[in-house]
Structures are given as structure tokens and as C-alpha cells.
Structure 1
Amino acid sequence: MKGIFPKAIMVALLGASLTTPLQAHAYQEPTDYVHMKTENMTVYSAYGAKIAASEKQGTYSVKANIVNNRQPLEVEIFKNGQSGVLKQMVKKGVMEPVAYRDEGDRVVATIHNNAELKFAYPVQIYFHDIANSTYSSYITALAERGIVQGRTSDNFGVNDSLTRAQFSALLARAFSFQQEQTKQFKDVDAKKSWFGGHVGALHSLGIINGKAPNTFDPNGKITRQQAILMLGRTLDAVDFVPEEYDTLPYQDSNAFQGELLRYTQTLYGIGALDYNTNLLPNQYITRGQFAKMLALSLEAAGRL
């Protein structure tokens, strides 16, 4: 699915040359789309939304009558001398990541809720444990956007595992999905759990399921196979279509079928999976491994 805007280049951001696939953004170049322009911003919708957009003193406000995780808006903002990381203000003094790609003179963001956007100084990264890691550039790129955080201010925990709650929050935050509360899972408190809205957003899109119909298991760990499935479903949800499905080099992937095979081929094709003899699908995924998978999935979808 071809986007309205040209393909983004990620090399400078990640600090390494990356093979970039054909990108599929949130919108086709439609025959009838609506848009709203201000001095430095254009907001696009392929869904017939009524858009109200304004900008004042470096704050870009966007409101629409149809904005959700299945019908987002694409926002083009020309920098005109502004620098830093684009973020969205969720309440006074609190800013969160927004999915966007940097095209030099402008950024193109995908938003799933009404938003106030603003450029902010990037987070300074001091993770000592990523200095010699092959995942360093991906962790840094995500951390500068505020998508990932360290275990402490100077330790990322590159080899630590991820829980289902942590994974849900990272994935929803990275793609800036609108949070949705869910009442289906008895072990997810809609009012008190910090991850409830993220789980609800992913569950509503068919990206993540519970361990049982009424149990989410937020403290359970994520395997590599589960991460592949959920990232693949996420790419489907944002209409990414790969150019082709690559042949897998892994000896332990011969029995893969259906969506697991297709998503593994997709992620391997965009470079998100390490090249090893075995994929080790049942091994718990590390924070470093997932950072690479997430960064390259975002880039493939035109959101980093």
C-alpha cells in the first residue's frame, strides 16, 4: 500500500546503513481524500473526516470527528528551523511519543487520536550496557523518541526479558495507538493497571490475545515466536505489504505455517530478525532483540 509521501531514509537516525523495503504508509494516494492546511502543517484523512487544525507558538493542534486505531490521520509538519523530537502532549507537563518519520525539512506523523504536537529536546542516552551491543543503534533511536526507557538512567537491560504488559505498552506506544480499556481480562484492572489501555488497544486490533478467554497474564514473558506474531499483526493493522516473502535460513523454521510463517518471512525480509542458524522461536525475547525488531518494523511502516 503506497503512501502519500516519499519514502523516509533511516540511515542517519540509526547510524548504520539499513536495507529499506517498499514502504506502506497509513494511506493510499486516494482519489477522494480530505485535508486541512495551516501555515506549516497539512493533515490528511482517507476516511472523510472533518478536520480542525491550528498552530500557535510551536504547538500543532489536530482534531477530527473520525480518529481511531483503524482510521488514523497523517500529519505533515514543516520544520522551518525547528529541531528536536516530535511528541504529543497528553496533559499539562506530560508528553508522550508519536509515530513519525523524519524527511529532513519536515516530519510526517501518524496519529490515532486528537492531538497537540510539539518539538521537544531529545532524551540524552547514557546506557552503559549498550556500548558494545549490536542493538545499540536501535535502542538509541527508540530511546531518543521516548518509546523505550532503561531499567535505570544508565542501564537499559539489553539482555533482560519482557513481560506481556511491558511488550503491550512498548508496541502501542511505538505506533502511538489510541489507548482503549478492556473489561475482558479479569487480571487487567481498567482503572488501576498502567498497561490496561495499551492491552485494550492491541486486543481491539486483533494483535494480542489472552492466555485464556478471561486471563491476560500480564507478568508472563514473551517468546520470540510471540513477538514475531504480534509485530506481524501490527504491520497488517497499519496496512504494510512486503514486496515479497523471503526464504528463511533458519533450520528450526521448517514446520512454520500460516501467519507465523508469513510474519517471520516479512520480518526477516525487512531485516528485523538476526541472521543465525536457528531462530529459537520458543526462547524468551530480550529487550535488545525486541528493540531491533520494533525499530525496523516502525521504519518499514513509515513511522520512524
Structure 2
Amino acid sequence: MFKRKCLVYVLLALFLLALPAAAGAAGDDPVVRSRSTEIIGEGAALTTYILHNRDGQIKAYVLKLDLTNPYLELKTLVGAAGTLENRAPLTRMVEGQKNAVAAVNAGFFVMANGKPVGTIIRDGELVSSPNMRGDMPVFALDENRRPLLDFFQFSGEVKTAGGKSYPLFGVNKPAYNLTDGSLSDSDHLTLYNRLWGTKTRGGDPDHPEAMVARVENGIVREALPAKDAAFDIPANGYVLWGAGAAAAFIRDNLTPGTPVTVSYKTTPDYQKIKVAAGSNSFLVQRGQVAPFQEELRGKTARTAVGYADGGKTLYFVVVEKSPESAGMEQRDLARFLVTLGLTEALNLDGGGSTTLVARHLGDGSPTLINRPKEGQERLIPDAIGIYNNAPPGAPAGLIISGPDTVVAGTYAEYSVQGYDSHYHPWQPENIQWDLPAGTKLIEENIYNGVYRGTFSFTGAAPAAATLTAQAGGVRGAKNLRVIRAGDLRALQVTPARISARRGESIPLTFQVITAEGQVIPIPAQFVSCQTTTGTVKEGTFLAGQERGRGIITAAFDGLTAEVPVQVECLFTDSSGSWAFEQIEDLGARGILKGFADGTFRPNQPVTRAEMTALLARVLNWPPATGEVRFKDTLPAWAKGVIAAGVAQNMVKGYPDGTFRADNRITRVELCALLDRALKPAPAAQQLPFRDASAIPSWARDSVARVVAGGLMGGYEDNTLRPGWPVTRAEMAAIIWRHLKGKAE
């Protein structure tokens, strides 16, 4: 694990809090539930795996590259504009790049400044040198397209015209810890050029003595303390940054006007490397799970690179971490790579950095394939791009995209895209359709360079239908299922309940549910809607100008669905409560009161004073003639209702003579109060709750009568929870049930 003072690596942020996981046995290996492969370019195929293990479903994506294909090319992608100055999401890195068919995130980086921990080489150019830890391997592709997975070494020297020299420790490196625990900057000299960015590194609190020298055209132009350095890195030169003995070398030998030369090299030679990115550990060596240089624990998103077939086939593997994918431990990933046949493999940056984009056949550009762990792409400093440099070919196929299931009596839109013999996209023209009975093309257009056709489906369409398109001498087909009215179970409207401001517009969407449970969207124009408040037009509800409640009734092919509507809620926070309708109904009738800020606070516990006041309104208790006396102080607003409740023999205090008006009323206390006040039905002989034994003896009969009367029930786990406080939402539901029962 990287230990770094004042800096936090992305990989630390991702994995440090994860619980350690034991190395799994072979029985823990995921089972392949499904896999599908698509060619995305010359020598490039993407396979999507749906796996399942003890943790549930896992999505994995395997990008398989044939390095013997002359049209296939890999490139190092760096930052937002080709430098390390600013990171970028992967989709932006490949945006607009000609012939790009895929890209995947690459090396680890420091979260604080976005600078790379490991090596980056781009077309023989050293963007960031190997660090000097000696325990972080590198993925590289040499000029002969051979993959290298190895440890790289770096050495260099800065030399003045007068013969003074000092070792160069790195190029474009952030501060990091060496394996002995010392800081990489201590007594070391580092070079920064425009690939780092436009600005110098600046000062470092760990090294207040640090010096920096600006060199242009081989001549030192300026040398001063790093904390005072505000100049840009020169486009025709570089900056040397040193601390400790290296700072003394700058101060004593790199005075303005001094000629200076810099030389450095890597082993293997960076000038013969096409692509390189840093790793933190081997995953596979000689076809077996490798001893890890570092194991980052936790079931999370993962990225890996490796090869098989003696280096002829390169693999990038991405594991998704999302609500639909459990992620993997590092060791599980290594075993998965072994099952794929990889002989050597390295771990790349994972967690929130894991990103894969690819261009589907017929598409114009790559799109995001995996769902990022954090819900959106993370900004990253480097990535690997995959390109198809084949010339345009002859039309080879058509891809028809659209819904797999449609409902008879509606329509659906399908797009058509073409690909050529080298898997480049091409736009088909003059498409001819072969359609099944009961199907008709009703509209077609070109939108954003893509053909789109809209088709209607009648009850005469076959249950299993095929749309066939022909253009440019090639054909494409789309198999689909046509659902009829007898196959539908229910109509569903979203939102299922509406709380709107006066005059507010709320879009509605409609879906039907088949007998098999499949949910299918239905265009709004095929659904008829009636409403008792406001209006519904073209799938949009428009609230009226008066506060009130109503119902939208939607109908499609014999199915109906109702949506309760509340215009201008009485309380600002009631719409999200499970007791929304009861709260609003009782509020409109003046039975329930809210707070001065317009809220009802449904989840707030009810006090004894609040419950007494509510019962006084429900039961119309007459004002008391005398003054009630309790030892404790009663709230001024509640004195009258408490006195009325005592006069009615409905409200009682505690044996010590107190009332405790602000105490939360428990469920058994409420049952006793409701029993006296509302006189519910006779009790059932036995209470059905698992925790019935916890009901105190003084309240057992009252609880039994309140439950039998339907005013209070248990929870989903068949408990009553007698000592729990009653919430204001529960209070509303209980009173609403009582009033509803009286009305019936």
C-alpha cells in the first residue's frame, strides 16, 4: 500500500475502508450465466459476461485485441488536452478522435493533484517516468506491437558546462513515499516540462528549502526558492525542482546564465515504447494467480490488462460495481483472468476510475459501456485508446435497433445503421423494408445522421415478427414480439401519486405489465385519461388554480389505473409520507394542525399534549369549567384541552401527580387513551403479535379492543412494539380510520 504524507491516492480512497477478504477457494469462482460478443473493429471484439457467485450478479467486460491485425492500433491518451495539467473523463478523451473504437482507464494517480503514480509513455515520449520504488510494474506495448509487463528502471543526470553534475530522480513526478519510508523529494532532483502542465510545482511544506531552476534552450534563466516560483514552465525548456542536497546543487551551481544539459533513460528504453501505463501489482504470471506486490481488498470495480497466445492477443478486462453488479476482490479478478486463458496480467486503477467506452457496430463514436461505481465518470489522467485504421470498405451489414417487445395497437421507433467490411460505420440510404402482416411504416427520417423509422402494429401482426431492412446490397433483421390485449395484466402510470402546485405541469408516462411481469412503455397518445381536477393533455397533467384533491383515471385496451392527485398540499412535507392521503384529508377538515413553518413532520413522535388536543377536536369535548391541577407545568396552549380531557375522565396523569405533557406517547399508552375515548369493538380473545408478552397487564385489554376495532395493527414482522413512540403519521392514520368507520 502506498503511504504518502499529505497526499491521498485514488486507490487509497477506494479501498482503504474495505474489510479484508480471505482468499477465496475455487468454489467461490463465478459461474457464467451468459455471455455475448460483438466485433467493434478490426482485430477488436467486446464480450459482455453476466457472472454469478456468492455475492450475487457480476458484470464483466472483456476487450480482446488481435495484435497481429495490421489495422489495429493502441495509443496512450493523456489528460484533457494531451498533458497532465487537467484530468478528463474517458468519454471526453476519445471524443472526436478519428477511428477510435474503444478506450479504457489506465494507471493510478494522486487524488490531491491528479498526477500519475506510475509510468506513462506515449509514442516514444516519456510523459511521466517510472517511480523509484521498484515494486510497481508497468504495462507497455513496444514499437513491434509486443506487450511487455515488467518493472521499468529510470536513471538520469543534470550536468553544467563547468562539469558539475547531480543525479536526476524522475520526470514529471508528484511526491511519493519510497519503500524505505522516505519521501521521494528528499535530496532528489526532478524535471518538469510542459507535459506536466504550464505551471511549476511550487513549494512543499515538507521541504521549505526546496529550490527551482527555469531552463530555456539549455541555459538557466532563473533559480529561486520553490515557494516563490510563480513562473510558467517554458515551452522550449523545463524546470528542475530539488530539495535538500538537490536544492543546494541548484543554489550553488545553476545560477542564471549557466549552460546545462539533461540526459535520462529508462530500461526498457522508452523511445522504443508505443504505449505504457503504470500498475500496482501483477495479477497473473505464467498462467497462474501471481504473488501480489500489493493487494487492494474490497468487492469493487476493477480494471486489468494482460495477454495470451505468446503476446499475440491482448486483453483489457473491466468489472463493474453498481446496483446490478457486486464487483470483485482483486484475487477473484486474478482467478477470472486465469479462466480466460491469460498468461500474464497486471492490475490497473479501479474503483471509481474504472471506465470502458466502445463503439458498437454502426455507431459513429464510442459510448460508455460500464456503469461507473460513483454513478458518473471520474476524471482521470491517462487511458489507453484502441483504433481501427482500416480504409473504408464495402457495405457489409445493417443493424436495426429498437424495442424487442411492442404492444398491438401502438407504434415503435427503430433505427438503422450500417457497417462496412472493415467494421467502420456507414449511413444506409434508400432503405427497403420487408414487413410482416399488420405492420406498417408510418414515418421515416434522418436524425443526427441516423435513419429512424416509426412502425405501427395492429392485432393482425404475428406474435413473433421480424422487420427486415435492405440497402447497399446488404440486409439486416430485427426479431420482436407483439403483445396482444389478452397477454396484458395491468396498466401502470408514473408518477403513481401526484402532489402539484397550482398551475404546475406534471409529465405522465404509461406502461403495461404483461402476464409474465414484463413492463412495456406505452406512448401517451394511445392512453385515454379522465380527471376530476385539472386537465390531462398529450401525457401531461396540468393542475388547476384551486387547491383540492382528485383522481386521474387512465385507460388502455380494457385496462385502467387511477392516480390520486393533490393540488397545493396543506403541508410542505406530507407528500412523501405513507399516510399522505390521511394527513391531507384530516388537515383539510381542520382536525390536524401543522407547524408555523408549514410542515406537518409526519415522522416526529406525538406528545401526550398533542394527542389530547387532537382527541378534543375529534370528539368535541366541551371546555372544562374548573382548572386542572398537576404538579408539573402544562404548556399554555394545552391547558384547556387537558382540563377538558380530565373532566371527561378520558385523560389521566401519573401516580406521582404529574401529567408530563411533552412526553412521547407510546403505542400502549395510546391504546389505553383510545379505548377510553373511542370505545372500539369488543376485544379478540388472543393478540396475534410475536411480542404480545411485552404488553403490560394494565394495557392488555385496551390493546385488544383497539386492535380488534381496526384502529391499530402490527408491523410487517408481526410485532406490535408496545413501547415504541407513536409518530404523527401513525396518529393521523388511526384517527382517519376511526372517522371512516363512523361514516360507514
Taking structure 1 as the reference length, the TM-score comes to 0.51
- For 2:568 and 2:674, the matched residues in 1 are separated by 27
Task: Give the equivalent residue in structure 2 for 1:171.
Answer: 615
- For 1:203 and 1:293, the matched residues in 2 are separated by 22
2:640 paired with 1:197: yes
The correspondence for 2:711, drawn from 272, 284, 295, is 272
Task: Give the equivalent residue in structure 2 for 1:227.
Answer: 670
- For 2:599 and 2:738, the matched residues in 1 are separated by 24
**Quick check: 1:267–1:297 contact (8 Å CA) kept in 2?**
no
Task: Give the equivalent residue in structure 1 for 2:600.
Answer: 156
Task: Give the equivalent residue in structure 2 for 1:295.
Answer: 736
Residue 206 to residue 258, structure 1, CA distance change in 2 (3 Å): farther
Task: Give the equivalent residue in structure 2 for 1:29.
Answer: none
Higher mean displacement: 146-155 or 172-181: 146-155
Classify the secondary structure of the residue corresponding to 1:215: coil
Deviation track 1:245-302 (CA, whole Å, cap 9, x = no partner) reads 26433111135476623322232233322432211111111100111112223344x3
Q: How far does residue 124 in structure 1 lie from its aligned partner after superposition?
A: 6.5
- For 2:699 and 2:569, the matched residues in 1 are separated by 35
- For 2:575 and 2:685, the matched residues in 1 are separated by 31
**Quick check: 2:607–2:663 contact (8 Å CA) kept in 1?**
yes
- For 1:160 and 1:257, the matched residues in 2 are separated by 24
**Quick check: 2:601–2:728 contact (8 Å CA) kept in 1?**
yes
- For 1:225 and 1:257, the matched residues in 2 are separated by 8
**Quick check: 2:570–2:587 contact (8 Å CA) kept in 1?**
no
**Quick check: 1:175–1:303 contact (8 Å CA) kept in 2?**
no
Q: How far does residue 178 in structure 1 lie from its aligned partner after superposition?
A: 0.8
Unmatched 5+ stretches in structure 2: 1-566
Greater strand content: 2
Deviation track 1:166-201 (CA, whole Å, cap 9, x = no partner) reads 121111112111121433213356xx8221121112
Tell me how many residue pairs correspond in the alignment. 175
- For 1:284 and 1:179, the matched residues in 2 are separated by 28
Deviation track 1:78-120 (CA, whole Å, cap 9, x = no partner) reads xxxxxxxxxxxxxxxxxxxxxxxxxxxxxxxxxxxxxxxxxxx
Higher mean displacement: 212-221 or 134-143: 212-221
2:631 paired with 1:186: yes
- For 1:136 and 1:247, the matched residues in 2 are separated by 32
Task: Give the equivalent residue in structure 2 for 1:113.
Answer: none
Q: How is 1:105-254 mapped onto 2 (pairs within 5 angstroms)?
A: 125-152=569-596, 154-180=598-624, 181-188=626-633, 193-236=636-679, 242=681, 245=684, 247-254=686-693
Residue 279 to residue 203, structure 1, CA distance change in 2 (3 Å): same
Classify the secondary structure of the residue corresponding to 2:605: coil
Residue 141 to residue 223, structure 1, CA distance change in 2 (3 Å): same
**Quick check: 2:606–2:727 contact (8 Å CA) kept in 1?**
yes
Greater helix content: 1
Q: Percent identity?
A: 26
Q: Output the amino acid matched with 2:650.
A: I
Larger-Rg structure? 2
Task: Give the equivalent residue in structure 2 for 1:261.
Answer: 700
**Quick check: 1:126–1:153 contact (8 Å CA) kept in 2?**
no
Task: Give the equivalent residue in structure 2 for 1:283.
Answer: 724
Residue 193 to residue 154, structure 1, CA distance change in 2 (3 Å): closer
- For 2:740 and 2:702, the matched residues in 1 are separated by 16
Residue 297 to residue 263, structure 1, CA distance change in 2 (3 Å): farther
CA RMSD of aligned residues (A): 2.8
Residue 175 to residue 188, structure 1, CA distance change in 2 (3 Å): farther
Q: Output the amino acid matched with 1:251.
A: R
Larger RCO (CA under 8 A, 6+ residues apart): 1
- For 1:296 and 1:259, the matched residues in 2 are separated by 25
**Quick check: 1:252–1:280 contact (8 Å CA) kept in 2?**
yes
Residue 283 to residue 266, structure 1, CA distance change in 2 (3 Å): same
Q: Output the amino acid matched with 1:269.
A: A
- For 1:275 and 1:207, the matched residues in 2 are separated by 25
Classify the secondary structure of the residue corresponding to 1:230: helix
Classify the secondary structure of the residue corresponding to 1:264: helix
Q: Output the amino acid matched with 1:159.
A: N
Higher mean displacement: 244-253 or 215-224: 244-253
Q: How far does residue 234 in structure 1 lie from its aligned partner after superposition?
A: 0.4
Higher mean displacement: 148-157 or 225-234: 148-157
Classify the secondary structure of the residue corresponding to 2:687: coil
Taking structure 2 as the reference length, the TM-score comes to 0.22
